[in-house]
Structure 1
Amino acid sequence: MNKNKASVTVQLDDAAFSLKRPADFSWLSSIGRVFQAFSQNDSGNISFGVDTGKEKLFIKAAGLETLESVCTPQEAVENLKAAMEVYEDIRHPALIRLRRHYPVGNLYVAEFGWAEGDCLHDHWNFDYYEAQPEVVPPARRFKELPVEKRLDACRTLFSFLEETARAGYVAVDLYDASILYDFKRGRTTICDIDLFRKTPLVNTAGEGYYGSERFKAPEEYILGAAVDERTNVFTLGALLFSFFGNFTPAERQRCYDEKRFVSIAAFSAGWEEAVRQGT
């Protein structure tokens, strides 16, 4: 969080977070007890964990004046509305499940079923990890898991991205912060696909195209370039690199240049063959 920005602290049940200005959360309190809030992102959304007494929900709200947003509240609302079709079109057991979505005054709200797990890039906790070096972050815990457990997580991602391609979408802005891992159950969940886009798709923003620099493909820096399933192959390859080791930029680039498959299905087949051969 940028501490130089003027802000107010909001306390809702067990969760505290900051906004630029106060807001009415009576609509949220009417749903249940708020036990967690996620406000430190640049999308303009704030997400909440809410216990209704019967079940837990993950509730995403757009239209509030957040501290880290790179868009206006109105743009955040339009973006979240547009994302609802994506969650309805892509059906996969590893994807967080959309329950319903609706306006609340100037806000727009999406309700999902709650998924247990730890985010594999929980950037909002980085200051805490730095101050408490004895605490092991989820990303490091994941990399320390037995290989077979990590391979199971990879198979989930392959399966999900194959379904994404079948549905006619490109996985724009998919990265490790989009992934939850439940260490107790060994379950992988994809929790954020808001920026996935239908094909055909071209890069309309040049170098400023959506996505984490750690996972963006070359075409995601080039104005007018096609963004397609091969882009998904690159993104998944970068994720797999992060799951299984540390590689130099030159090593990564050589693999991307020489071994980028034409589809996720082809990548999956090649991956499984390499696993069988023990390479």
Structure 2
Amino acid sequence: MYTYTVSGHSIQLKAPHDLSFLNSFDEVFTVHDDLISGNLCFGVKKNNEKLFLKYAGAQTKNYIGTTENSVQRLINAIPLYDKLKHSALVNLRYHIELKGGILLLFDYIDGLPLGPLPEYKKALKNIPIYYRYIMLDNMFDFINKASHLDLICAGISDKSLLFNISNYSLTLTSINSFVSMPFDNSVARLSGSSLYLPPEAYKDTILGEKVNVYIMGALAMTLLGNRNTNSYEDWESSKELYNTTIKALTNNPQLRHKNPQAFLNEWREGVKNIPDNMIVP
């Protein structure tokens, strides 16, 4: 293992790599070198502004694939950030192709991941339910947009979703693993956390919009219930919205909503039916 030190932070790699691109920033205040994606991620400062940097090309310590593949995934994601531009998605400022890899620079998202630490989940549940409805609606709108562009929102996990307890926002920080549909899961398995992947994602089958419906249901359960149990006893909202969520989480994809638009329509109708005294902050 090769160790580099930048702004007092340690970076461990499997092989030597040129990290001099970091010298163009005033400060590196956060380092994530343990990701399984093959990317190095940094919190950096330039002219006193915080930015988020994602880099592929180095042999990171927990990545089992090739650097060529990690670089190509980032390159493939670049046009998607433009197509999918949305307030629920982190904003890509620009990218630079370097001799040893590819660098993407984003707005910095000041927030906490949805998990896995219990204190993160507690902070999430302390957000007034009114704002959690808004956070969900915005993310659902984004997933619906992706679906209209024939994309499956693969790769989503608690760590890739950041929530801010001050402005009550929920932001997706990575779309590197999004794939076009229909997706042949017998050729390459769909990536993502088991909390957000439906049962068919582990089978040799063709995948489509029903996966996105399942992800929407999983998000609703994460923000308003208990994703580990999916039980009504842990649900904080109406029975109507619980039924909508459970339908989206059904193991049989044919029993879920037809598509994300159908889920979103039913969800919004359910929110409208909640008495004001149950949701007003």
Aligned AA (1:166): H
In the alignment, which of 45, 56, 65 is matched to residue 62 of structure 1? Answer: 56
Give the match for residue 51 of structure 1: 45
Post-superposition shift, 1:22?
A: 4.1
Partners of 1:79 and 1:161 in 2: how far apart? 20
Post-superposition shift, 1:219?
A: 2.2
With over 3 angstroms needed to count, the CA separation of the structure-2 counterparts of 1:201 and 1:209, relative to structure 1, is: closer
Give runs of aligned pairs for residues 112-191 of structure 1, distance below 5 A. 112-121=106-115, 137-191=119-173
Partners of 2:176 and 2:120 in 1: how far apart? 23
Q: For 2:132, what is the secondary structure of its paired residue?
A: helix
Partners of 1:109 and 1:204 in 2: how far apart? 31
Aligned AA (1:163): K
Post-superposition shift, 1:167?
A: 2.4
Post-superposition shift, 1:50?
A: 1.0
Identical aligned pairs, as a percentage?
27
Post-superposition shift, 1:271?
A: 1.4
Q: Deviations over 1:208-230 (max 9, x none)?
A: 4312112211221121x222221
Extract unaligned runs of 5+ from structure 1. Answer: 1-6, 127-135
Is the CA contact 2:35–2:63 (under 8 Å) kept in the aligned structure 1? yes
* Match status 1:38 vs 2:19: no
Post-superposition shift, 1:191?
A: 0.7
Q: For 1:256, what is the secondary structure of its paired residue?
A: coil
Q: Deviations over 1:131-182 (max 9, x none)?
A: xxxxx63222102322112111111111111211222311112232221111
* Match status 1:262 vs 2:242: no
Aligned AA (1:34): V
Aligned AA (2:193): S
Is the CA contact 1:181–1:188 (under 8 Å) kept in the aligned structure 2? yes
Aligned length: 259
* Match status 1:230 vs 2:224: no
Give the match for residue 129 of structure 1: none
Give runs of aligned pairs for residues 170-249 of structure 1, distance below 5 A. 170-205=152-187, 208-223=189-204, 225-246=205-226, 248=229
Give the match for residue 273 of structure 1: 269
Task: Using structure 1 for the length normalisation, give the TM-score.
Answer: 0.83
Partners of 2:52 and 2:186 in 1: how far apart? 32
With over 3 angstroms needed to count, the CA separation of the structure-2 counterparts of 1:107 and 1:179, relative to structure 1, is: same
Give runs of aligned pairs for residues 5-20 of structure 1, distance below 5 A. 7-20=1-14
Task: Using structure 2 for the length normalisation, give the TM-score.
Answer: 0.83
Partners of 1:214 and 1:236 in 2: how far apart? 11
In the alignment, which of 86, 89, 92 is matched to residue 98 of structure 1? Answer: 92
Q: Deviations over 1:89-144 (max 9, x none)?
A: 212122111122222222111111222212223x5xx5xxxxxxxxx632221023
Partners of 1:33 and 1:22 in 2: how far apart? 22
Aligned AA (1:222): K
Give the match for residue 235 of structure 2: none
Partners of 2:108 and 2:161 in 1: how far apart? 14
Post-superposition shift, 1:64?
A: 0.8
Partners of 1:15 and 1:236 in 2: how far apart? 37
Partners of 2:155 and 2:127 in 1: how far apart? 25
Is the CA contact 2:44–2:50 (under 8 Å) kept in the aligned structure 1? yes
Is the CA contact 2:52–2:108 (under 8 Å) kept in the aligned structure 1? yes
Partners of 2:192 and 2:52 in 1: how far apart? 23
With over 3 angstroms needed to count, the CA separation of the structure-2 counterparts of 1:14 and 1:115, relative to structure 1, is: farther
